[in-house]
A and B are shown apart, each in its own frame.
Chain A
Amino acid sequence: MADSDGTSSQREDRVLAYSALLPSVLILLLLVALPAATVVNFSVREVQLGESDNAFVGLDNFAWALRAEQFWSALVNTLIWVFGSVGLEMVIGLGVALLLNRSFVGRGVARAIVFAPYLIPTVVAVLVWRYMFHDVVGILNFFLMKIGVIDAPLNWLNSPRMAMLSVIVVGVWKFFPFVVLAILGVLQSIPQEQYEAAKIDGANGWQMFWRITLPYVMPIFLLTALLRTIWTFHKFDIIYLLTGGGPVGATTTLPVLVYQKAFADFEMGRASALAIITAAILAVLLGVYFFLNKRAEARQ
């Protein structure tokens, strides 16, 4: 009797558990699995928006992508965008974290100010930056000319060379606080006694940074860099809102290209193939992330 009671109450538990999970599962299916399946389906067909005759074309869309000059230039743009932004974010983030870890008057205020860009909505931030970048009324040109760095106004967003730089500047400004946050957390967890022991043992400031701080920070530094790489890789809003991918494709990264193919050229099939290639690159990066993460956890 007791046995069958046990099993029936276990069964009830299981039913309850599954019914609690059901809404989330449904939402996931609807919002992730279904679109993903649709993309996979589209990627092997020639899909024209508004037409119902979606002919199966095999891997033609992928073959097109790998031959298309557009794809390769978007890939190069993506790499410049990703490594430019993440590289600067990491260097600036580490530097600012080290500064904010020192004790000085007004540190609390300084920390709050540093984190502000991360909290401002992207649309708002981009609108403000566009205004600042403006070649005639923008404050950037005004300021740079005032201090004599440039003689004539720069065409920040409309020259192919400057546009990528401008986009990276905004990206770095918006996301370096994330790096500061991650690294500051580690810096604050380093026991003060480690530095005191090193001081007594004769280490100077540089040696303490090199032999104590950096080894402590390194695992998180690498993980953060990788995480930022993944997020920057599929970043869309900043670039699209600032330049729309232009001028002349100078800031068209893979996500922007996917969007253009799908909603400007209405070539859903090719857009889907591009999206899948992008996702594949990201999957590799994610794999590295989980590998590093596991190793960092094992080390603790």
Chain B
Amino acid sequence: MASLELRNIHKFFQEQHSVDDVNLSVADGELLVLLGPSGCGKSTLMRIIAGLETPTSGDVLIGGKVTTHLRPKDRNVAMVFQSYALYPHLTLYENIAFPLRVRGVKDKLVAEKVKWAAQLVDIERLLDRKPRQTSGGERQRTALARSLVRDPAVFLLDEPLSNLDAKMRNSAREELRDFQKRVNITWVHVTHDQTEAMGLGDRIVVMDRGSVRQIGTPEEIYLRPADTFVATFVGTPPMNLVPMDSHTLGFRPENFLHRAFFGNEPDVLDVPFRLSRIEYLGNERLLYGVTADPLPEAKVVARIPSTLPLQLEEGRVEGFGVRRSDLHWFDKATSRAIAAPAGALHG
């Protein structure tokens, strides 16, 4: 177990700046998620931590020691790959034993360690099988066991759930979280799936085009997005953005509700909403439409639980509103979050 720190990491591939001045630290035993769209540099960053890539500049510290130029095997990190990278010609037992075998560990100790790791991920009865005779979930757990067996200081997981179907993914996420709690290892987890990030992470690092947009707990990321990228990347459907004179106004679809819902509450911004389409999704309805005065005309989405007994019709203008406390303001030029401008919308 160890802490992990990245200092001023830059990585250029040819002319492309794929990691741009990344600074972050992961506490001992923390689960940190790197979240971002594909090509945002999160996998490169993970490979830099693992030692599979060398940063163009900057330092990687594991347990307080600079490891930037150490070989992967001398960093005591373990990595689970997206494809799991199991060896197809070896049994699960030998796959898990691999890191010990190449280090020349004695058979008896290997057997103990493999059994211990297999038990942790509940695959003891599959140890004689080859990877192709197992399911995606079992392979993922084998990969976990393999990375666990030599007591790594830092655990790196690159999109480990993306090869599982949606149903499996939910239970696997729960298992992973549970697993991390038990082994209590410093854990860096790469994903492009916001649900995975929100559900797993102690903290989330949101990345875009090589740089860090925001670091924070899932609540912080969701409730106080640092800029319009984070605001629209996290949350489904994404936050509504309405361009104003010199600012951008944002509010989440679930906070944009029918006026009746607020009753006599003060501090609610009234927004007339011309409905153009209603999507019924079972547990909720998505309402698509256009805002009107006091807001400029802009396409927005409202998300309301199906259980609300609201009679809505496409084409009609409905009285909707948002609590002023649920409004987000962003600078138009930098797209960074700012405090509510004085006098904006009489608030």
Q: Which residues of B contact A200 (CB under 8 A)?
A: 50-52, 72-73, 77-79
Q: Chain A nearest CB: distance from B126 CB in Å? A: 19
- The reply on A207 being an interface residue by CB < 8 A is yes
Q: Chain B nearest CB: distance from A190 CB in Å? A: 10
Chain A window 184-223, contacts with chain B (Cβ cutoff 8 Å), 1 for yes, 0 for no: 0000000101101111111110010001100110000000
Whole-angstrom distance between the alpha carbons of A135 and B77 in the complex?
63
Interface size of A by CB at 8 A reads: 17
* Known interface pairs A196-B52, A211-B87, A215-B89; A202-B77 also in contact (CB < 8 Å): no
Q: Which residues of B contact A216 (CB under 8 A)?
A: 89
Whole-angstrom distance between the alpha carbons of A198 and B82 in the complex?
15
Whole-angstrom distance between the alpha carbons of A197 and B98 in the complex?
10
Q: Would you call B102 and A202 a contact (CB within 8 A)?
A: yes
* Known interface pairs A199-B72, A200-B50, A200-B52; A194-B87 also in contact (CB < 8 Å): yes
Selected contact of A198 from candidates B78, B83, B98, B150, CB within 8 Å: B98
- The reply on B113 being an interface residue by CB < 8 A is no
Residue from the set A197, A204, A215 with the largest chain B CB neighbour count within 10 Å? A197
- The reply on B139 being an interface residue by CB < 8 A is no
* Known interface pairs A204-B102, A207-B102, A211-B98; A199-B73 also in contact (CB < 8 Å): yes
- The reply on B81 being an interface residue by CB < 8 A is yes
Q: Which residues of B contact A193 (CB under 8 A)?
A: 81-83, 85
- The reply on B103 being an interface residue by CB < 8 A is yes
Q: Which residues of A contact B85 (CB under 8 A)?
A: 191, 193-194, 196-197
Q: Which B61-106 residues sit within 8 Å CB-CB of chain A?
A: 71-73, 77-79, 81-83, 85, 87, 89-90, 98-99, 101-103
Q: Which residues of A contact B10 (CB under 8 A)?
A: none
- Interface of A (DSSP majority class): helix
Q: Which residues of A contact B79 (CB under 8 A)?
A: 196-197, 200
Q: Chain A nearest CB: distance from B201 CB in Å? A: 23
Number of residue pairs across A and B with beta carbons under 8 Å? 58
Q: Would you call A197 and B102 a contact (CB within 8 A)?
A: no
- Interface of B (DSSP majority class): loop
Q: Which residues of A contact B42 (CB under 8 A)?
A: none
Whole-angstrom distance between the alpha carbons of A199 and B82 in the complex?
16
Q: Which residues of A contact B90 (CB under 8 A)?
A: 215
- The reply on B146 being an interface residue by CB < 8 A is yes
Q: Would you call A191 and B72 a contact (CB within 8 A)?
A: no
Q: Which B88-134 residues sit within 8 Å CB-CB of chain A?
A: 89-90, 98-99, 101-103
What is the chain A residue whose CB lies nearest that of B130? Answer: A299
Q: Chain A nearest CB: distance from B176 CB in Å? A: 19
Q: Chain A nearest CB: distance from B82 CB in Å? A: 8
Q: Chain B nearest CB: distance from A244 CB in Å? A: 47
Q: Would you call B99 and A201 a contact (CB within 8 A)?
A: yes
What is the chain B residue whose CB lies nearest that of A214? Answer: B89
Chain B window 157-178, contacts with chain A (Cβ cutoff 8 Å), 1 for yes, 0 for no: 0000000000000000000000
Q: Chain B nearest CB: distance from A124 CB in Å? A: 42
Whole-angstrom distance between the alpha carbons of A212 and B101 in the complex?
13
* Known interface pairs A193-B81, A196-B81; A201-B87 also in contact (CB < 8 Å): no
Whole-angstrom distance between the alpha carbons of A199 and B70 in the complex?
12
Q: Which residues of B contact A197 (CB under 8 A)?
A: 79, 81, 85
Q: Would you call A201 and B51 a contact (CB within 8 A)?
A: no
* Known interface pairs A194-B85, A197-B85, A215-B87; A202-B103 also in contact (CB < 8 Å): yes
What is the chain A residue whose CB lies nearest that of B81? Answer: A193
Residue from the set A191, A196, A216 with the largest chain B CB neighbour count within 10 Å? A196
Q: Which residues of B contact A199 (CB under 8 A)?
A: 51-52, 71-73
Whole-angstrom distance between the alpha carbons of A44 and B87 in the complex?
56
Known: A200-B50, A200-B78. 18 other contacts (CB 8 A): A196-B52, A196-B85, A197-B85, A199-B51, A199-B52, A200-B52, A200-B72, A200-B77, A200-B79, A201-B73, A201-B78, A202-B102, A202-B103, A211-B87, A211-B101, A211-B102, A212-B87, A215-B89
**B residues apposed to A, CB below 8 Å:** 50-52, 71-73, 77-79, 81-83, 85, 87, 89-90, 98-99, 101-103, 146, 150
27 contacts between A and B (CB under 8 A): A191-B85, A193-B81, A193-B82, A194-B87, A196-B50, A196-B72, A197-B85, A198-B98, A198-B102, A199-B51, A199-B71, A200-B50, A200-B52, A200-B72, A200-B77, A201-B73, A201-B99, A201-B102, A202-B73, A202-B103, A203-B73, A203-B102, A204-B102, A211-B98, A211-B101, A215-B89, A215-B90
